[in-house]
Each structure stands twice: as C-alpha cells, then as structure tokens.
With several copies, the nearest count.
Chain A
Amino acid sequence: MKDRLNREIIAMRVAKELQDGDVVNLGIGIPSLCSQFIPEGKTVIYHSESGVLNYGPMAEEGFEDQDLINASGQFLAPVDGMSFFSSSDAFAMIRGGHIDVTVLGALQVSKSGDLANWMIPSRGIGNVGGAMDLAVGAKKVIVAMEHNDKNGSSKIVNECSFPLTSKSCVSLIVTDIAVIQVVKSGLQLLECAPGWTKEDVQNETEVELIFEKGIKEFTL
C-alpha cells in the first residue's frame, strides 16, 4: 500500500490556502493543527465559538487558565489584541459572513459539496455544536480529513448517507491522498500525494473525479 500523508502534512497543506488578514475558525481534530503552519509574514486571525478572536499559541504548562479556552477546550495564552464576546456575538460573526475561512473535519462529503460531520447514525445521537453555523456562514469551507474511513470506504460519496450538516457548502477537500476542489460540475482533482497517481486516488474515491490537465503533486 502507498504511503498516506500524516495529519500534520494535511494541516500544512490547508494552511497554504489561508491568506494574509483572513479570519479563520478551525474545527477540532486535523483542522486545529493548521495554526502551527502559517508562513511568516502572513497574519491570520483565529476565531473560536468559545467567544474569542485573535488567539495565538496555547498556554504553557503551569499557566493554564480555565477562563481562557478555545472551542476544543484547549487552554490559550493571552495575546495582545485578543477580544472576548458572548456566544450570540460569536455566532453573529459566523452567520453574518465575517469569517473568511473555516476548516472542518468530515464524516462524508458529497459530489455537490454537501457536508456530513455531526452524527454517526449507528450511535443514535450526536453533537451539532457550531458546525452547522460555520458550514453555512463562513465565506469558504475547507474540509480536512482522511480520505477513507476505518473500513477503507470512501468518505467522498455521491450522496451523503449520514445526516447532513449543510448542503453545497464545501469549497475544497484536503485529504491524506489528494486535494479536491468542488466545482459546478462535481469534484475536480487538483493534487495527489507523492507517489499517488490520479488513477490511484480515483480507486479510493466513490465519486467519479474530474481530471483536467495540471494535476500536480501535493505542494506545501
């Protein structure tokens, strides 16, 4: 079997998409790793549903403060120009279109960019959290995830079988084997992981991908 990219490399590839001045909300899991990989010279502003804007590094050991957390429950370090606000304001920012990019994990992404990331039907219950608001409100939704689930099934599907988070919301999918863009006619393969051909990626993917010239190797 070919090597798949690790979580850090996926996050590094996503980080390349973030522009100077972007306001970004990172979901839990792989998305939360992106903040480590912002190139010097770029200013990216992080937002969290816990009611904070412009946070930076995590708190050092011994300096954790239970009143300074992000939406993943990680302890944040105080930073100049950081601000705090209510949940209604935090989501006014999200729903009102003031977040440039959100990076979310996914259980399934469909051919038309539908996102399912909040509930595994077999569990019978799930956590919506802020995902539906982010999926519908952020100007750009990037999914960062493993390409296949634990059983090897494609998480990129023709139609989501899991309960939806939001329809037609995903712009870009970055996985451990490929970078795929959601376009009007479907899913277009942009980049393959080193050592992977477009046919290899297609073999792991339920949706028939669009190949145009210029498919590149993963670039960081």
Chain B
Amino acid sequence: MNKVFNSFDEAVSDIPDNSTLMIDGFAGPGGTSQNLIAALRNLGSKNLTIISNTAGLASVIGFGTLPGQTPVDIGVLVENNQVKKVIASFPVSPSPSRPTAFEKAYAKHEVELELVPQGTLAERIRAGGAGIPAFFTPTGVDTRVSEGKEIREFNGKKYVLETALKADFALIRAYQSDRLGNLVYKGTSKNFNSVMVTAATISIVEVDKIVETGAIESALIDTPLLYVDRIVEIKENNER
C-alpha cells in the first residue's frame, strides 16, 4: 500500500482526455495545487471538465497573492486549450479591464460554463463524496441558476433540487500527509480542498511535507487516509 509518488508528472500521468477534474483552492495560491496543475498542463490532456470555485483568478488579479509571486492556476489549462467546460461559482474577474483566460475563451465560445452558487457547489461536491445523489437547497430559488430545475416546498418555503458532483480525479494541495495519506491543511486552505478530496475516484495530493505515520497527532488530522490515493512532496527547490 504505497501512495507516495516521486514526481508531479508521474502522479498525473494517467489523466486521459475527456476527464472530469476537481481542482482545489478558494481563489488565491494558498491551497491551490499549483504543481499538479503545472504537471497537467505539461501532460496536455484535452477536453477536460474542471470543477472549481474560480476559473483562474489569482493569475490575473493577484487575489490572495503575496507581492512578487505569480501563481499558477486553472488559467494555464484554459490558455493551453485543454478545457472544454468549467463548473464554478466565481468564473470571471471582478476587474473588467483584467479579464481571466477563461472569460476570453468563453467570449469566443471555446469553453462552456455551468455557474453554481458557491454553497451549492460545495454541497454538491460533498454529496458526491457522501453517496447523496441529490438534495434540496433554498439557494438560487427564483433566480437564473434554478431555471429548469425541480422546485418543491417544505414547510411553506421553496427549495430547488440540486444533484451531486463527482470527478475522475481531484488535484489537492495540503500542508502535510503521513505515509498512510492522513492530511492536514493550513488555515483557510481547507475550504474546497477537504471536500473535493472526498468526491473523486482518484485524489492526488501535493504536500509541503510527507511525515512518518504518527507524526500527525490524531486530533489534528483533517482528512482521513481513505480519501487519499496519491501523495507527492513538494521539494525544497520548487518555489510553489
């Protein structure tokens, strides 16, 4: 039972064309699996469906980015014509003068978009990991995002039926993993990461450090090992 891979390239090498991927992070470089994204860009798999909170924001507006850094995000996959569709809650730049690569491709009808409210996105992913095929939520009722979907009242209030999201692969950044695959995230880099890791057939995780089993105290484990398939340690000479 060895989950440790030696390189990012090796860890993503079997991601085929037409795959559905969950890619982590809130919007900034913190909690974004930049090394795995770069490896997937190098691999070049095409026609990908990407499930993610944004469609690549930090690379154009520097969201949550420390001075002098140039983060890698989904934008590089869009620019490389690898992306067929994006399922996201925050796909465009808040600054119209600095559009995302996704927006430009979308304007040229090169990429599709499914826009999902952020809480519904998180809950659909959780549902995918938790064996719940569909659930009702109040979010989006009487708006564009619920058009064509089933609406039902419970206790006099209207709710929309939303379905689970699953992926073939998840690309995840964590802080540490032990050799079994138990993960710890840092601070606000737990948000989408800890949910997406549960909803993919194969979850690939890049970590700052792989430690011996037992080095992470039980009470600190955020993601239990059964959700983790592959682990790659970020080497010191790697800047991301």
Of residues 157 to 213 in B, which have CB atoms within 8 Å of A's CB atoms? 175, 178, 180, 182, 185-195, 198, 213
* Residue-wise interface mask of B (88-106) relative to A, using a CB-CB cutoff of 8 A (1 in contact, 0 not): 0111101010000001001
Task: List chain B residues, Cβ under 8 A from A64.
Answer: 66
* Residue-wise interface mask of B (201-240) relative to A, using a CB-CB cutoff of 8 A (1 in contact, 0 not): 0000000000001101011010011110000000000000
- Asked, given contacts A51-B26, A69-B30, whether A166 binds B188 with beta carbons under 8 Å apart, the answer is no
Main secondary structure of the interface of A (DSSP, over half): loop
Interface residues of B, count at CB 8 A: 73
Assess whether B92 is in contact with A126, with CB atoms less than 8 Å apart: yes
In the complex, A21→B64 CA distance in Å? 29
In the complex, A92→B178 CA distance in Å? 22
Task: List chain A residues, Cβ under 8 A from B96.
Answer: 123
A49 at the interface (CB under 8 A from B): yes
A94 at the interface (CB under 8 A from B): yes
B76 at the interface (CB under 8 A from A): no
Assess whether A96 is in contact with B26, with CB atoms less than 8 Å apart: no
Task: List chain A residues, Cβ under 8 A from B134.
Answer: none
In the complex, A84→B123 CA distance in Å? 17
Given contacts A86-B122, A87-B53, 20 further A-B contacts (CB under 8 A): A50-B188, A51-B26, A67-B31, A81-B178, A82-B218, A86-B193, A87-B192, A88-B123, A90-B119, A91-B118, A92-B130, A94-B119, A95-B138, A123-B96, A127-B89, A128-B118, A133-B139, A136-B140, A137-B131, A165-B143
Interface residues of B (CB under 8 A from A): 1, 26-31, 53, 63-66, 89-92, 94, 96, 103, 106-107, 113, 115-123, 125-126, 128-132, 137-145, 175, 178, 180, 182, 185-195, 198, 213-214, 216, 218-219, 221, 224-227
